[in-house]
Amino acid sequence: MSTSLEGRKAVVTGAAQGIGKAIAKALAEAGAKVVISDINGEGAKAAAADIGHGAVGVTCDSTKVDQVNKMLEDAAENGAIDILVNNASIVPYIAWDDVDMEHWQKIIDTNLTSVFIASRKATDMMRAADRKGTVLNIASNAFYAGTPNMSAYVAAKGGVVGFTRALATEVGKYGIRVNAVTPGLIDSDGVKGSPHAESFGFVEMLQAMPGKGQPEDIAKVVAFLVSDDAGWMTGQCVNVDAGMIRL
């Protein structure tokens, strides 16, 4: 078995830090030419410089169709990318009584609509180039747990799971695979600076195995799922959370 991605073109959205950056690094180390896309352009460029292996950082708002389309066209270099990882996300912590329409729409746009925007363009390009590519969506085990203070987020990530299954059915006949990963609570940059950082003790009690999940734990699974070793897998949602949720 080998997760070699030599010669593949990959795009990872929201990859300036945390899980996205770890995924970009894993793909680059496996041989892929990686474009790190993030609304924080300077952060994306810094991540690319840190990763090396020819990685490139670009500024892109994943909720803007024109920006996403241009970013993917540039990354494809007059063809199509082979790998799209939809990682861009906002992880809020807000009580249900404080959820208003503005918050709801922002979370849905960033965590769900962005997945559609990038997948729409990427799969169109893959089909036009007769490229048997793969789309990998980052969802969350919060969808299964119904985590409190995250209602819009849970709804959006549940949508990602459903979209993954449906899109896999739509594009499978073209040889395009679509899968998702549902991480548990991860010791990432974003979590460390949020109220979620206080939840590790409770979450660890629910896990089958002790410890804090690291971004690299998710990246390793993603690298496998986008490789030829997972070539007979599509429409699947792989839970990576030390057994907190036992499906």
Q: Active site residue: 93, 144, 153, 174, which one?
A: 153
CA distance 37 to 20: 9
Place of tokens 């991540």: 47
Helices 114-128, 151-171: crossing angle, 10 deg rounding: 10
Catalytic residue list contains 144: no
How far, CA to CA in Å, does 85 sit from each of 22, 66, 112, 139, 188?
Answer: 12, 18, 13, 11, 18
Helix (H) or strand (E) holding 184: none
Residues with catalytic roles:
153
